[in-house]
Structure 1
Amino acid sequence: MFCNWRDCQEYRSLGLPLSTTSNEACKLYDATLTQYVGWYDDDSMGGLENCVAQMLSADPQFVMGHVLKNGLDLMGTGRSVALDTDFKRDIDAMVTLSDSGPINQREQLHVQAIKLWADGQMRSACDKWETILVDNPLDMLAIKFAHDAYFYLGLHPQLRDSPARCLPNWKPSMPLYSDLLGIYSFGLEETNLYSQAEKVARQSLEMKKQSAWSTHTLCHVMEMEGRQNEGIGFLSRTLNDWTKCGMLACHNFWHWALYHIEKNEHQGALDIFDTEIAVSLKKSGAMLDVVDVCSLLYRLELEGIDVGSRWNDTFEIIRPHVEDHILAFNDVHIMMACLGSNSKEIVQKMMDSLRGFIRDGSGDNHDLTRDIGMPMCEAFLAYDEGDYGKAVELLLPLRYDVIKIGGSHAQRDIFNLLLIHAALKSDIAEHKKLARHLLMERKALKENSPMTDRLIAKAMATHVD
C-alpha cells in the first residue's frame, strides 16, 4: 500500500492547494483520502478513523479536513442530520468555519456540496463536484465523492463519464492512478460495457494487485456474463490481495456467495455468509455490509433455503436504522431484515415512519422514497403475507424505475427475482404467464444462468390455461 503521504507543497504543485499551514494535517488528509479511495484501513496509521481524528487535531481549523470527515460520514449512509444532532452540529460548524477564514473557490465548492448532500439535495451536490472537476480534474476527493453519489442515485452514465473526463489529465506515475482506473472500470461495467470494463480493471490490478474496487468490477463483469466458475476461481486465487481492503472485502465475499447461489450450491453460500459476511457486519455495522447480509439471506430464502436464526443477529444491528430514511435503497433492505426476523411490531413502526417521512420530508431521497421506496417496501410486505398478486401489482410498474434508488445491477437483481417469484406463486393466471415472459427476458440477457434455467423449469411445470 502507498505510504508516502503528500504535504502542502506537493498539493500546491498539483494545483490543489489546501488552506492549512500544517504539513502534518495535509499528510493525514492524504492518508485518509488514500484509505477511503482504496477501501482499507492502514494499520501503520491506526486506520481511517484515527487518521481523521489526528488530522483535525493537527489543525482544527482545516476546512478540507472537516469536509473529508463529514463527507465520509455522509457517504457511509449511516448518519443523518435530521436524526443526529451531533452530526448536524458538525456540518454547521464546517460551514461557519468556511465563512470565517480565507479558503479558495475549490474548497468553498466542496463545503457547499457537503452541505447540499446533508440537506438531501443530492443531485445538486453532484453538480458542485462536477464544477470542481472542470478546473481541477486531479481532485480525487471530488472524483470519489461524485462516484459514490452517482452510485447511490443510480446515475450510471455519470458513473462512467465523470472519471472518463478526468482520466486524460492523470499520469500513471501519480498516486491513486490505479484506483482511478478502478473507479472508471466500474462505471463501464454498470453501463454494460463489459469487455472494456474488464480490460481497464485488469490494467488497474496490474499496477496494484490490492485494488479492491477493480477486483469488484471483475466480480460484476463475471456475474453479469454468467461466468460463475471463473468468478469463484478468480476470487480464490486473489484472496490474499483483496481481503487486505477490509472495507470492501465483505462485498466481494457477497459476490462469491452469489456465484454459489447461481450454481445451486446453497451450502457454499451459507458457509461464506457464516464465516465472512455475518462476521464483517457484526464488526463494522456499515450500511454496505447491512445491505449485503439482507440481500444474501433473502435470495437464499427465495431459493427455498431455511436460513435458521441468521436474521435475528442481523436485525439487532439494523434496528437503530429503521427510521433513518437516508436512502430508499437502504430502507428496502432494512425491511427485508424486519420481515426475516418476524418483527411485526417493528415492520409496522417502519411503515408508519416511512409514511411520516413521505408526508413531512423533503429532498431527493424523499421523492424517491415516495415514488419507489415505499411501494417496494409494500411489495415485500405483501409477499411476506402471502399476497403474491398484490406484490406483482406493486412491483411491475416499478421495474424500469427501480434503478433510480441506486445500487448496482447485481444488487437490484433481488427486485427482479422477487417479481418473478411473486408472479410464479400468484393465483392469477396472467401473473403466471408474466413469470414465463420475464424468465425468457432474463434468459436473453444472461444466457448462462443456472438459476434462470431452474426457474424456467419451475414455471413450465405450472399449468396455465
Structure 2
Amino acid sequence: MQQDVFGQMNTLTHPESVQAWNGVLLGFLAHAAVTPQHLGKVLELEPDFALGHAVKGLFMVLLGRSEMITIAHDAAAAARTAVRRQPVSARESLYLDALDQWLAGRPTQAVQIFESILQKHPEDSLAMKLSHATRFVLGDSAGMRRSIERVLPAYAPDHPGRGYLLGCHSFALEETGAYEKAEIAGRQALWMVSDDAWGLHAVAHVHEMTGNAQSGLDWLAGREAAWSHCNNFRYHVWWHKALMHLDLGQIDQVMELYDFEIRKDKTDDYRDISNATSLLSRLELEGVDVGNRWEELADLSAARTEDGCLIFADLHYLLALTGDNRNEATAKLLARIHKDAQNPGNDTAQRMADPGLAASIGLEAFGNRDFGRAFEHLAIARNAMQLAGGSHAQRDVFERITIDSGLRAGRLDEVENILDDRRAKRSGNEDNYALARREMIDSARDASGAQSVPAE
C-alpha cells in the first residue's frame, strides 16, 4: 500500500507508479490534457491496480458518448479481475461499485457511493471531484454545494486539493445563486492553484449571471495560462469569452473566437458540440448570418442520433440538425428520444422523458418556424430543464429560444413572465439580450395599441 498526494492509501507498490497516480489525481482536478497519459503509465506499471481501471471507466462514462461505454465496461471487468488477483481496501472497492452503478444507468446511486467514501475520507479529493462531476451531469446544483460544504472543514490550508475544492465550491455557489460568495471562492481558488481552470471559469459564470460582460472579459484577460493546459475544457472557457463579446455586440470577436479557438479542432465530443451549437444559435437569434458553420456540426450530429447517453447532448445535436435543415436526421433523433422515454427505468431514460420529449419537439418546431408550437413545448420543458444537466449559462440557449419563440408567436405576457423569472434567478440582473427583448415587447404592445385606436 502506498499513500497518494491526498493522503489516501492505495494498492500500489512502485514509487514510479505512485508518482504517475498523483499525476492522474491532480490532472483530473485541473482538467489537464496530460491526465490520460499518467493513467496509462500507472496501468502499464501496475496492471492489477483495480482502482486505476475503475477510474478509467468512470472517466469514460463522464465523456457521455456511446463508444466510450464499451471501454468503460472493459475497464470495469479489468478492475474486477484485478481484485481477484490483488485484494483492495474497502475505500478502493467502493469506486468499483460506483462504476457499476454508472454502467447500470444509475449515476444518482454512483453519487451516493462517492458520498459514502467522503463520509470516512472527506479529504479524498478524487471522490469529491467525481461526486461534483456526476452531480453536474445530473443537474444537481444544490447537491454539488452540499457535498462540497460537508467536506470543506477537512481541508487544511496546505491540503494539495484545497484550491481545487474551492474552485468546485465557487461553481456550486454560482449555480445556487450565491454570486458574491462564488466570486470570492473562485478568486481564492486560482490564487492557491494557478491551473484551476474550473475555479476560473466559475468566476466567468458569475459575470455571465450578473450581466457584467466587460468585467468578465477583464477577469479572463491575461489568465490564459489557467486554461491553456486543459483538455477540451479549454474550448469551453473560450466559449465563455465569446458569450461576453456577444453580449457587448462585438460580433467580429465572437466569430474569430469561434473559428480559431472554440472550433479549432473539429471534434465530436458532445461538450464541444454544445459550445458550438449554442453559440451559433445565440448568434442567429441576434440576426447574425453564421454562413456554412452549421454544416460540419450537423455532419457530426447526424452520426449521433442513436447515441442516447445524455439528453443534454441530444438537445445540442438537435440544434445542429435543425440549424442545417437535416430533416431526416432530426426525425431519427426525435424518434430515438421518444423510444428511450417510454421506459424511464433509469436516470437517463427519466431525463429523456422530462424534459427531453417536450424540449426536442419544441426545438424541432422552432427549426420549422412553427413558433407557437415551439413555445408551447419549450415552456412545458422549461421547469424541468435543469435535469438535463449542464450549467445555467449552458441551458440559457434553450431559455432564449423559448423566449424568442414566444415573441414571434405573440405570447407577450407569457414571455414577460419568463423574463421576470430569469431576472429573479440572476439576483435582479439582466444582460443585454433580456433588455433587448423587453424593448421588443414594449414595441409590439405600442404597435398593437396604435392599431386599436381608430383614425380620426
How big is the shift at 1:423?
0.5
- What is the one-letter code of the residue matched to 1:454? A
Residue 137 in 1 paired to residue 122 in 2? yes
Post-superposition CA distance 1:443-462 (Å, at most 9, x none):
45443422211111112222
CA change 1:401–1:225 in 2 (3 A) is: same
1:57-96 to structure 2, matched below 5 A, reads 57-79=44-66, 85-96=70-81
Greater displacement, 285-294 / 220-229: 285-294
Aligned counterpart in structure 1 of residue 350 of structure 2, from 341, 349, 367: 367
CA change 1:355–1:209 in 2 (3 A) is: same
Residue 217 in 1 paired to residue 202 in 2? yes
CA change 1:262–1:129 in 2 (3 A) is: same
The aligned residue for residue 11 of structure 1 is 4
1:66-465 to structure 2, matched below 5 A, reads 66-79=53-66, 85-99=70-84, 101-280=86-265, 282=266, 284-359=267-342, 362-426=345-409, 429=410, 431-443=411-423, 445=426, 446-462=428-444, 463-464=447-448
The aligned residue for residue 28 of structure 2 is 36
CA change 1:246–1:87 in 2 (3 A) is: closer
Q: Is residue 355–residue 382 contact of structure 2 (8 Å, CA) maintained in 1?
A: no
Q: State the alpha-carbon separation in 1 of the partners of residues 76 and 313 from structure 2.
A: 22
What SS is found at the alignment partner of 2:364?
helix
How big is the shift at 1:85?
4.1
Post-superposition CA distance 1:264-302 (Å, at most 9, x none):
22222111111110114x2x5432222111111111111
What SS is found at the alignment partner of 2:10?
coil
What SS is found at the alignment partner of 2:47?
coil
What SS is found at the alignment partner of 1:404?
helix
Post-superposition CA distance 1:391-438 (Å, at most 9, x none):
111122222211111111111111211111000111xx5x23222333
Q: State the alpha-carbon separation in 1 of the partners of residues 13 and 243 from structure 2.
A: 49
The aligned residue for residue 5 of structure 1 is none
How big is the shift at 1:99?
4.9
How big is the shift at 1:26?
2.6
Q: State the alpha-carbon separation in 1 of the partners of residues 3 and 413 from structure 2.
A: 63
The aligned residue for residue 25 of structure 1 is 17
- What is the one-letter code of the residue matched to 2:74? R
Percentage of pairs with the same residue: 29
What SS is found at the alignment partner of 1:421?
helix
Q: State the alpha-carbon separation in 1 of the partners of residues 175 and 379 from structure 2.
A: 22
Post-superposition CA distance 1:86-111 (Å, at most 9, x none):
54333233234335541111111110
Q: Which runs of 5+ in 1 are unaligned?
A: 1-7, 42-46
Post-superposition CA distance 1:157-213 (Å, at most 9, x none):
111121221121122222232111111111111111111111111111222232211
CA change 1:130–1:308 in 2 (3 A) is: same
How big is the shift at 1:236?
1.8
Q: State the alpha-carbon separation in 1 of the partners of residues 66 and 87 from structure 2.
A: 29
Q: State the alpha-carbon separation in 1 of the partners of residues 429 and 165 from structure 2.
A: 31
Q: State the alpha-carbon separation in 2 of the partners of residues 86 and 187 from structure 1.
A: 30
Q: Which runs of 5+ in 2 are unaligned?
A: 450-456
How big is the shift at 1:242?
2.8
How big is the shift at 1:12?
9.5
Q: Is residue 274–residue 313 contact of structure 2 (8 Å, CA) maintained in 1?
A: yes
Q: Is residue 185–residue 217 contact of structure 1 (8 Å, CA) maintained in 2?
A: yes
The aligned residue for residue 36 of structure 2 is 49
Q: State the alpha-carbon separation in 1 of the partners of residues 191 and 145 from structure 2.
A: 21
How big is the shift at 1:80?
5.5
How big is the shift at 1:136?
0.5
- What is the one-letter code of the residue matched to 2:432? P
Q: State the alpha-carbon separation in 2 of the partners of residues 207 and 90 from structure 1.
A: 34
Q: Is residue 11–residue 88 contact of structure 2 (8 Å, CA) maintained in 1?
A: yes
- Cα RMSD for the two superposed structures: 2.0
CA change 1:388–1:217 in 2 (3 A) is: same
Q: State the alpha-carbon separation in 1 of the partners of residues 232 and 71 from structure 2.
A: 24
How big is the shift at 1:340?
1.4
What SS is found at the alignment partner of 1:279?
coil
How big is the shift at 1:66?
0.3
What SS is found at the alignment partner of 1:322?
coil
Q: Is residue 264–residue 451 contact of structure 1 (8 Å, CA) maintained in 2?
A: no
Q: State the alpha-carbon separation in 2 of the partners of residues 405 and 346 from structure 1.
A: 21
Q: State the alpha-carbon separation in 2 of the partners of residues 55 and 285 from structure 1.
A: 28
Number of residue equivalences: 445
Q: Is residue 338–residue 352 contact of structure 2 (8 Å, CA) maintained in 1?
A: no
Greater displacement, 107-116 / 437-446: 437-446
CA change 1:311–1:101 in 2 (3 A) is: same
CA change 1:298–1:103 in 2 (3 A) is: same
How big is the shift at 1:64?
0.7
How big is the shift at 1:314?
1.9
What SS is found at the alignment partner of 2:375?
helix
CA change 1:311–1:52 in 2 (3 A) is: same
- What is the one-letter code of the residue matched to 1:122? P
Q: Is residue 74–residue 80 contact of structure 1 (8 Å, CA) maintained in 2?
A: no
